[in-house]
């Protein structure tokens, strides 16, 4: 694993040097992020961040089968990608090893823990069920509140006192998601209208805020709260909802992207309030929406196939190579010849290459706000 981690870091250095040469991304680059000297990262969230928790809950999950993981690990690891995901690049940029999943028996948590579980929601499963919102197949029960309890349980053995916790966590980075996307996915794919799902946004945002307040009480001092991606650009959405919908300049579903913006605006307002409540805590909004729009607008320049920007690499059928009936990982589902030229891996999640560029944009954007020293 050590050699793999060195390879990740080397790849990331090359990537950021290319960005610098092409003036395609704002500085500061990797060095500034490393100057923050984070010694641990704690990740919460869903499949965008899961490094192997769900596959331990469900050993037969598709993320535990090839072609998942094929491009970097040569085996499936429970990551929903052909290789590395954003948190892998973020950890490597901080000079830390890849994060082990919380549910991995005997794992080393010296440099942090990944609590994220694919399929997880911001609201408890029972709360969503009371609103007639259900996942198919049966969702994980490891919602954000469960992940938070696991963090608290870990700290009860890691720290002796609250003061001890604050001291031990002062150089830790807490990634609060992305989370909340599945609450909306389950509602929208379950037949609810965008307007109906908008009514869910305040509760989802409040759940994220409440969880953040809890980790601050536990001792967190450096926190990133990511927003949602532009869901109207995702192949699963394009396949399901393209009829009777308008498209934007990128051929993404306009109404669904506007919904993501609506969620993100509410989240940003809540973050500003959190900042005022906690002047001694660094709280940063992780702008996944802008990161993706940046990637998409420069995709051809960055080496992606301009004719397949919204096509899944691993999938089957239709204009966007996606079908819920034959998803990636099932027998007979084909994989594109060059995943590095695709943004979407399986119609829902990003390829390793897209994750790499997204992480680079985020790190460059977040580093100054995380108050990483210049030297």
Residues linked to residue 176 through DSSP beta bridges, in sequence order: 44
259 closest CA partner among 293, 228, 286? 228
Q: Which ranges of the chain would DSSP assign to H, the alpha helix?
A: 2-21, 30-34, 54-57, 86-93, 125-130, 144-158, 162-169, 181-189, 194-198, 201-218, 235-241, 254-277, 288-297, 352-369
Considering 63, 172, 344, 349, which one is annotated as catalytic?
349
Considering 142, 323, 346, 364, which one is annotated as catalytic?
346
What is the b/e burial string over 140-162, where b = at least 16 CB atoms within 10 angstroms of the residue's CB?
Answer: bebbbbbbbebbeebbeeebeee
Considering 46, 47, 49, 183, which one is annotated as catalytic?
47
Dihedral sign (CA 10, 225, 82, 103): positive
**Is 316 considered catalytic here?**
no
183 closest CA partner among 268, 266, 126? 126
Distance CA 134, CA 237 (A): 17
**Is 346 considered catalytic here?**
yes
User: Other C-beta atoms within 10 Å of 135: how many?
Assistant: 19
Distance CA 154, CA 159 (A): 9
The gap between the terminal CA atoms of the chain, to the nearest Å, is 29
349 closest CA partner among 59, 144, 60, 67? 67
Distance CA 151, CA 169 (A): 12
Query: Residue holding tokens 């995943």?
Result: 339
**Is 47 considered catalytic here?**
yes
Dig out the tokens for 77 from the structure: 């690891």
Of the CA atoms within 13 Å of residue 19, those in its CB half-sphere come to 24
145 closest CA partner among 44, 251, 76? 44
Active site residues: 47, 346, 349
């Amino acid at each position: 694993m050590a050699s793999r981690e060195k390879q990740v870091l080397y790849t990331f250095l090359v990537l950021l040097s290319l960005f610098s040469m092409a003036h395609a991304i704002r500085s500061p680059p990797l060095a500034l992020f490393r100057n923050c000297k984070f010694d641990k990262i704690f990740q919460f969230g869903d499949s965008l961040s899961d490094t192997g928790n769900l596959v331990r809950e469900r050993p037969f999950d598709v993320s535990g089968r090839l072609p998942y993981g094929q491009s970097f690990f040569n085996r499936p690891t429970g990551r929903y990608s052909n290789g590395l995901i954003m948190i892998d690049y973020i950890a490597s940029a901080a000079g830390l090893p890849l994060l082990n999943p919380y549910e991995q028996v005997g794992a080393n948590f010296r440099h942090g823990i990944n609590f994220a579980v694919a399929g997880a929601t911001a609201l408890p499963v029972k709360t969503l069920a009371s609103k007639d919102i259900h996942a198919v197949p049966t969702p994980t029960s490891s919602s954000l509140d469960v992940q938070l309890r696991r963090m608290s349980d870990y700290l009860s053995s890691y720290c002796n006192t609250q003061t001890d916790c604050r001291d031990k966590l002062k150089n830790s980075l807490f990634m609060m998601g992305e989370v909340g996307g599945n609450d909306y996915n389950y509602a929208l794919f379950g037949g609810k209208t965008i307007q109906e799902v908008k009514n869910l946004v305040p509760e989802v945002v409040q759940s994220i805020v409440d969880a953040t307040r809890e980790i601050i009480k536990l001792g967190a001092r450096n926190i990133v709260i990511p927003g949602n991606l532009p869901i109207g650009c995702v192949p699963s959405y394009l396949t399901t909802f393209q009829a009777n919908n308008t498209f934007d300049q990128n051929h993404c579903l306009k109404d669904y992207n506007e919904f993501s913006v609506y969620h993100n605006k509410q989240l940003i307002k809540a973050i500003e309030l959190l900042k005022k409540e906690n002047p001694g805590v660094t709280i940063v909004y992780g702008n996944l929406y802008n990161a993706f729009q940046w990637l998409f607008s420069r995709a051809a320049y960055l080496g992606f196939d301009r004719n397949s920007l919204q096509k899944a690499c691993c999938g089957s059928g239709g204009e966007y190579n996606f079908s819920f009936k034959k998803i990636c990982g099932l027998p007979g589902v084909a994989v594109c010849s060059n995943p590095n030229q695709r943004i979407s891996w399986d119609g829902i999640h990003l390829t390793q290459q897209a994750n790499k560029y997204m992480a680079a944009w985020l790190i460059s954007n977040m580093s100054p706000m995380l108050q990483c020293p210049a030297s």
